[in-house]
Amino acid sequence: MKKSTFYHMPSINFMGVGCLSNLGKECVARGYKKALLVTDKNLVKLGIVEKVEQILKDSDISYTVYDGIEQPNPNVADVKNGYKYISKNNVIKKNYDFVVSIGGGTNHDTARAIAALVTNGRSIEDYEGLNKLTKPILPWVAVNTNAGSGAHVTMVGIVGDDSRKTKMNFTDPKLLATITIDDPELHVTAPREVTISSGIDILAQAVEAFVALNATPYTDALALGAIKLFVNNIRNVVANGNDLDARYNMAFAGAMAGSAFNNAGLGHVHTIAHQIGGSSYRHHGLISGVLLPYVLEFNAPAIPIQKFNEMAFAMGLEGATGDNAVQIVLNAIREINAELGIPESLSEMGAKEENVDYHAKMALKDIAGMTNPRQATLEDMVQLIKTAMRVESQTKKQREPALSR
């Protein structure tokens, strides 16, 4: 007998070219009068923030822009600075009705943390873990500008904690956006390297969600759909960032992978990525991309072969109808990584051997591991991280031409 389940997602999600135009009327309909815009200086420079500002002005909504987020990863300091920006002695200076995040996962996670602190008080570290918020957050509108983390559609906040050299996870259905807006026209300014490093996180998240312990037929459909869209569009969007059809499909891939893991959970790609990213400050997606083949190989004995058959089918790989599907899917992922120029080793992501034991311990504490399909001991985790670091001597093995379709 399968256990009962439920799904969380933002209730209104605008997608597609030109959908940013819905922002004004949706905010007016809710009676919003004053916004805090949370973003970064690069998006201001690119004119994307100005597009949002113009819509708010046309809708008679006043706003303040906080553009102090440091890329590529948000940390506790970003949240504190953003909160300080709008408060004095922990009292909010002005009456903000809502928060608008403009950007990718970094800016969304910082914005939802600020929105949570405005109503719940205290500091973000107090809400680490599952369901720790006591009050609804300030309404949050997520304007997404690249395909990757899917943070705009999730209830999972991740911010770096420099003091512990890790990334802190705060997960709560209260952290869902009120409205999401995912307009591919805003994605075209993402540089090639951001398109790749954010994009590969889609594959990592979709695969982890598909094999996660809390996966259901609903999340499986989202995860497989995301894998298919990713494989069919990543080359086009990397080759030509102005390809709006490819950007559109990648936007859906990102949102679908985000929704899949939001409800199915993740696994040790993410528990380890949170440790390496928390100390090396390298891009989360890139680290996840490096880790995906290693972790999937570790998990493979605990994953039904049918799951590999289905992933191979979604990736357009032929002949993967039996047990051979494990190797075919792993090879295909390695080939995609190689094609996108994603490093093969965690060492190239700034991981240091002297930190492996600490990373392994912290990874096992990360709640993203609760749904990993294969139980990992501390020894397993140490070995897994070391394997992903010492790739030079271990993975120069024969590969099948997985992407020749």
DSSP-assigned letter for residue 137: P
**Which residue of the chain is nearest Fe ion when measured via CB?**
201
Which tokens belong to 18? 């030109």
CB of 147 to Fe ion, least distance (A): 12
Q: With contacts defined by CB under 5 A, name the span among 10-18, 167-175, 200-208, 336-344 that binds Fe ion.
A: 200-208
Identify which of residues 67 and 201 has a Cβ nearer to Fe ion in the complex: 201
- Give the Å distances, CA to CA, from 318 to 221, 311, 339: 20, 11, 19
Q: State the virtual CA torsion across 71, 170, 114, 14 in degrees, nearest 10.
A: 80
CB of 266 to Fe ion, least distance (A): 7
Q: With contacts defined by CB under 5 A, name the span among 89-97, 166-174, 203-211, 319-327 that binds Fe ion.
A: 203-211
Q: With contacts defined by CB under 5 A, name the span among 165-173, 197-205, 334-342, 350-358 that binds Fe ion.
A: 197-205
Q: Which residues from 54-83 bind Fe ion, rule CB under 5 A?
A: none
Q: Which residues from 221-240 bind Fe ion, rule CB under 5 A?
A: none
CB of 387 to Fe ion, least distance (A): 20
CB of 158 to Fe ion, least distance (A): 8
CB of 104 to Fe ion, least distance (A): 11
Q: Which of 201, 310, 344, 366 binds Fe ion (CB under 5 A)?
A: 201
Counting Cβ atoms within 10 Å, is residue 276 exposed (0-12), middle (13-18) or buried (19+)?
buried
Parallel/antiparallel/unpaired status of strands 129-130 and 156-161: unpaired
Per-position x/- string for 270-309, each x denoting binding to Fe ion as judged by CB under 5 A, each - no binding: ------------------x---------------------
Q: With contacts defined by CB under 5 A, name the span among 178-186, 205-213, 314-322, 367-375 that binds Fe ion.
A: 205-213
Burial 34-60 (b: 16+ CB within 10 A, else e): ebbbbbbebbbeeebbebbbebbeebe
Q: Binders of Fe ion: how many residues, by CB under 5 A?
A: 3
Q: Which residues from 235-264 bind Fe ion, rule CB under 5 A?
A: none
DSSP H or E segment with residue 326: helix 325-340
SS3 8: coil
CA proximity to 399, closest of 336, 328, 339, 343? 328
Q: What angle do CA 375, 396, 302 make, to 5 degrees?
A: 20
Q: Which residues bind Fe ion (CB under 5 A)?
A: 201, 205, 288
